[in-house]
Amino acid sequence: MAKGIRDKVAILGMGCSKFGERWDCEAEDLMVEAFEEGLADAGVDKNQINAAWLSTAIEDVHVGKSGVPLAVALRLPYIPVTRVENYCASGSEAFRGAVYAVASGAADIALALGVEKLKDTGYGGLPQRGRGVLNSMVNANGSAPGNFAQLAAAYRAKHGVSREDMKRAMAHISVKSHDNGSRNPKAHLQSKITEEQVLNAPMVAEPLGLFDCCGVSDGAACAIVTTPEIAKSMGKKNIVTVKALQLSVSNGIEAQHNSWDGSYFMTARVAAKRAYEEAGIKNPREQISLMEVHDCFSVTELVTMEDLYISPEGGAIKDVLDGFYDHDGKLPCQIDGGLKCFGHPIGSSGLRMLYEMYLQMQGRAGARQRKEQPVFGMTHNLGGAPNMNVCSVAIVGLEGA
């Protein structure tokens, strides 16, 4: 394996818009909102940015294609701007582009910005969209919740879990994320909920009820990255560096080959292993301090705890119900509310996860700040469906950790 990019790139500044139903905003307004914060945090001039990556996944309902919308919205000085898309992991993809540009020496300072403006469709949930000419003739008449809901049936069958126990663990995950979201002023959903509310909510896609699903939000987030040397030369303290950045993409085994049992993410396991190796982490359950995972649905978060090798296989339900992943637990997961409550503007989400890790590392997370100084923060950003997906795992930490 290549030796990776551990400590080669530092986060110079980050920004994140308020997430939510931003009825009064265009995507361009959200981009500027995130960028203003990120630029001020980085303490650089816009003209020092050498290259930029824009991530959006459902661009046909807002900015359209290409890097142009970012360049125009921010009035970037005719630098290279590339639009990237990799399902719901697009934000991590923009980050990867910027980080690799810096790691390679092609850029001194690079920008990754993700945006999604979803609330212009006229209905709730993700926009209906074409899947491609052939796929539309073959794919099941599904939805995102329906695709992820299937994890539950397969997980129950594999581990002999009752419908009730499964539903209760999933409920705990959502209650925890709402609790966390209540301490986050930028979160889309800031109200606490009870387990009873979750269990009695209307069904969306069996067994996922309304509170098992994350919010569909408008929002933008960005990162400005550079080398640790440049960051230091600018007088930056508590520098947060990238320890690992991995991506794993399905090649059709899950969808076509009977070796996958439907209860977990093959990609996440591959990406996590590689990320731990790149970051030099031997025992993730002990060494990871904080996690932001792709909790698009409660059941996704549940199985991901095992895919990231934090909970033992078949042990996620126990850890969840024991409060291991609560904000005051051993390893808080979604301390900012996660996709569930911070919200899920698709192209921004990977960057939003990193934003939280960055704030927590620097002790700037306000009411939701973890007391113990985090050492390694991990983000897990997934896109697609369990049987066909892309999974990004990133690990950041203070320089020298």
Tell me the per-residue interface mask from 250 to 289 with other proteins, x by CB under 8 A, - otherwise.
-xxx-xxxxx-xxx--------------------------
Mask for 317-356, x = binds other proteins (CB under 8 A): ----------------------------------------
Query: Nearest approach, Cβ of 44 to other proteins (angstroms)?
Result: 44
Q: Rounded CA gap, 211 and 376, in Å?
A: 29
Which segment (4-12, 248-256, 285-293, 321-329) binds other proteins by CB under 8 A?
A: 248-256
Q: How far apart are CA 390 and CA 247, in angstroms?
A: 7
CA distance 224 to 290: 22
Give min distance, CB of 142 to other proteins, in A.
6
Locate all alpha helices (DSSP H) within 27-76, ordered by sequence. Answer: 27-42, 68-74
CB 355 within 8 A of CB 343: no
CA-nearest of 98, 201, 132, 212 to 166 is: 212
Residue 385 structure tokens: 């469906």
Q: How far is the CB of 123 from other proteins (least distance, A)?
A: 5
> Is the Cβ of residue 114 or residue 215 nearer to other proteins in the bound state?
215
CB of 8 to other proteins, least distance (A): 32
Q: How far is the CB of 171 from other proteins (least distance, A)?
A: 18
- C-beta closer to other proteins: residue 47 or 259: 259
- Catalytic (active-site) positions: 88, 344
Q: Which two tokens stand for residue 64?
A: 């359209």
Site for other proteins in 182-211 (CB under 8 A): 202-206, 208
| Dihedrals phi, psi of 131, to nearest 5 degrees | -110, 5
Each residue 121-150 as x (binds other proteins by CB under 8 A) or -, in order, gives xxx-x--xxx--xx-xxxxxxxx-xxx-xx
Residue 162 interacts with other proteins (CB under 8 A)? no
Question: How many CB atoms neighbour CB 85 within 10 A?
Answer: 18
* Burial per residue of 282-302, b for 16 or more beta-carbon CB atoms within 10 angstroms, e otherwise: eebeebbbbbbbbbbbbbbbb
- Report 357-386 residues binding other proteins (CB under 8 A): 386
- Rank residues 127 and 329 by Cβ distance to other proteins and give the closer one: 127
User: In the complex with other proteins, which residue's Cβ is closer, 92 or 387?
Assistant: 387
Q: What are the residues whose beta carbons fall under 8 Å from the beta carbon of 247, sequence distance 6 or more?
A: 86, 89, 92, 93, 96, 271, 390, 391, 392, 393
CA distance readout (Å), 272 to 26, 158, 299, 381 = 36, 22, 18, 11
Contacting residues toward other proteins, per CB under 8 A: 121-123, 125, 128-130, 133-134, 136-143, 145-147, 149-151, 153-154, 156-157, 202-206, 208, 251-253, 255-259, 261-263, 386-387
